[in-house]
Structure 1
Amino acid sequence: MSELVVAARAAARAASALLRDARPDRITSKSNARDLVTEWDVKAEEVIRRVLEEHAPGVPVVGEEGGGDFDKAREHWLVDPIDGTVNFAHGLPLWCVSIAAARAGEVLAGVVVAPILDWWFEASLGGGARDERGTALSVSKIDRVDQALLATGFPYDMTQENNLDRWNHMMKTAGTCRRLGSAAIDLCLVAKGAVDGHWENRLQAWDLAAGVLIIREAGGTVTNMTGGGFDLYDGEVLASNGAIHGELIAELARA
Structure 2
Amino acid sequence: MKSEQILKFLVEIVKEASALVTDKFEVSQKGDAFDLITNLDVEIEEFLIKKINAQYPDFRIVSEEKNSNHSVTENCFIIDPIDGTINFTNNLPLWGIQIACVINSEAAVIYLPKMNELYYADKSGAYLNGIKIATNVVPIKNTLYSIDGTNNLPIMEKMRPYSSGRRNLGAVCVSMAFVSCGRLHGALFRSDKPWDYLPGLCIAKMAGATICDEPGFHGAAMNEEFLNILKEANK
Give TM-score, length-normalised by structure 2.
0.91
C-alpha separation in 1, matches of 2:101 and 2:228: 31
| Equivalent residue for 2:125, pick from 128, 132, 137 | 128
The alignment partner of 1:168 has SS state of: helix
Aligned to 1:147: 142
State the 1:163 CA deviation: 2.1
Aligned to 1:28: 28
C-alpha separation in 1, matches of 2:137 and 2:203: 17
C-alpha separation in 2, matches of 1:107 and 1:143: 34
**Is residue 205–residue 235 contact of structure 1 (8 Å, CA) maintained in 2?**
no
Deviates more, 1:74-83 or 1:244-253: 244-253
Structure 1 position 12 matched with structure 2 position 14: yes
Aligned to 1:117: 115
**Is residue 201–residue 219 contact of structure 2 (8 Å, CA) maintained in 1?**
no
Cα distance change on mapping 1:177 and 1:68 into 2, 3 Å:
closer
C-alpha separation in 2, matches of 1:188 and 1:5: 16
Cα distance change on mapping 1:247 and 1:87 into 2, 3 Å:
same
Deviates more, 1:47-56 or 1:73-82: 47-56
C-alpha separation in 2, matches of 1:201 and 1:68: 17
**Is residue 152–residue 199 contact of structure 1 (8 Å, CA) maintained in 2?**
yes
C-alpha separation in 2, matches of 1:64 and 1:53: 16
Q: Which runs of 5+ in 1 are unaligned?
A: 156-161, 224-229
The alignment partner of 1:65 has SS state of: coil
Deviates more, 1:203-212 or 1:38-47: 203-212
State the 1:74 CA deviation: 2.3
C-alpha separation in 2, matches of 1:71 and 1:201: 18
- 1:12 partner amino acid: V
Give TM-score, length-normalised by structure 1.
0.84
Aligned to 1:166: 155
Deviates more, 1:53-62 or 1:40-49: 53-62
- 1:153 partner amino acid: D
C-alpha separation in 1, matches of 2:233 and 2:92: 29
State the 1:108 CA deviation: 1.3
C-alpha separation in 2, matches of 1:74 and 1:244: 31
**Number of corresponding residues:** 233
CA RMSD of aligned residues (A): 2.1
